[in-house]
Amino acid sequence: MTTVRREAFGRMPPEEGGGEVEKFVLQSDSVRVEILSYGCIITTLETQDRDGHFSDVVLGFDTLEGYTRKHPFFGAVVGRVANRIAQGRFSLDGKEYQLFINNGPNSLHGGAKGFDKVLWSSQVLPNGVRFFRLSPDGEEGYPGDLKVWVTYTLSGRELAINYQAQTSKTTPISLTNHSYFNLAGQGSRDVYDHEISIEADSYLPVDDTKIPTGEVAAVQGTAFDLRRPVELGKHLQKFHLDGFDHNFCLHQGQDRRLVARVFHPPTGRTMEVHTTQPGVQFYTGNNLDGSLKGKGAATYPKHSALCLETQNWPDAVNKPHFPNVLLHPGEEYNHTTWLVFSTA
């Protein structure tokens, strides 16, 4: 049985239109999640440890101001295209499109004002909440009026995030949620004692601006072979890695499949990620530097959280051999990711 509650969370600044931001609280016996109508942001996700104690396992802020200021996409839905597009450029039907450059020479997570920085309309469901927005033709340089629905539903230990979209013109689209997880509890120093596995036989090597080179490389015999669980801190040391920020190539198909598992031995908390998406970006919070004041005055240093962003492959719009990232008029974009929490 899931209960759903809505409450006021704050108001947008006048220069942003001043609209009211609501918070939706979804609660089951074993999981409690809070989600904002601004950016569809997951602000809180509380799960039990093996002794039944609840802790909040996602990074974020106590107030709306934290989210309206610059931050690394904590908990937000990002789009129209998650991840990086090389030089913010792509061609469609002979026309060249230029996007806003906001990550070195590239466009990242939708540009200057992506889906994470706007107010969505909301509808309460029996076991969740559905958000909607229309991304107008030309927004951030993307073609077509794009109708987008993001639906969060909580069922027992499982949080489902469904993304649907329809467009008036052919457009690239790849949506994800950018939550930062620390199963020891947000505000814990690092995720080195977390064990992670990712069900991927290949990954995408990147250049020094984090754009895939185009090669689809086997994980076998490399630091990227996470098919068996590894303890993150020891693994980074063993391979002299600064961290991960890479796309892992998942088995293709529209069916739900288990793609990643995170286990925290000290608390017993486990999170499984299931998805219909073709890729997952594994990111270990390499750019966190302790400068942001988070919930409960916590600071978030480097490697204090990890992200598993289910999505299409980065820069797919410029790489024809990557999975199709284009949505055409008359088609529907429809993907779901499930986060399943348990204890061991």
CA distances from 16 to 38, 79, 101 (A): 12, 19, 21
d(CA 11, CA 112): 21
Q: In Å, how far from its chain's centre is CA 216? A: 22
Burial category of 17 from C-beta neighbours within 10 Å (exposed 0-12, middle 13-18, buried 19 and up): exposed
Q: Is 274 annotated as a binding residue?
A: no
Q: Is 51 annotated as a binding residue?
A: no
d(CA 260, CA 279): 11
Q: Is 178 annotated as a binding residue?
A: yes
Which of these is catalytic: 109, 178, 235, 246? 178
DSSP reduced 3-state for 233: helix
Q: Is 287 annotated as a binding residue?
A: no
Q: Is 152 annotated as a binding residue?
A: no
Q: What are phi and psi of 309, to 5 degrees?
A: -95, 105
Query: What is the CB-side half-sphere exposure of residue 110 using CA atoms within 13 A?
Result: 22
Is residue 194 part of the annotated active site? The answer reads no
d(CA 290, CA 293): 8
Q: What are phi and psi of 343, to 5 degrees?
A: -130, 150
Which of these is catalytic: 22, 46, 309, 335? 309
CA distances from 163 to 110, 217, 339 (A): 16, 29, 14
DSSP reduced 3-state for 292: coil
Is residue 71 part of the annotated active site? The answer reads no
Residues in Cβ contact with 58 at an 8 Å cutoff, skipping those fewer than 6 apart: 42, 43, 44, 45, 74, 75, 179, 180, 181, 182, 186, 305
Please report the DSSP string for 66-92 in residue order.
HHHSS-S-TT-EE-SB-SEEGGGEEEE
Q: Is 192 annotated as a binding residue?
A: no
CA distances from 89 to 37, 49, 98, 150, 296 (A): 30, 45, 5, 26, 40
- Point out the annotated binding site for beta-D-galactose: 83-84, 178-180, 245
Residues with catalytic annotation?
Answer: 178, 309
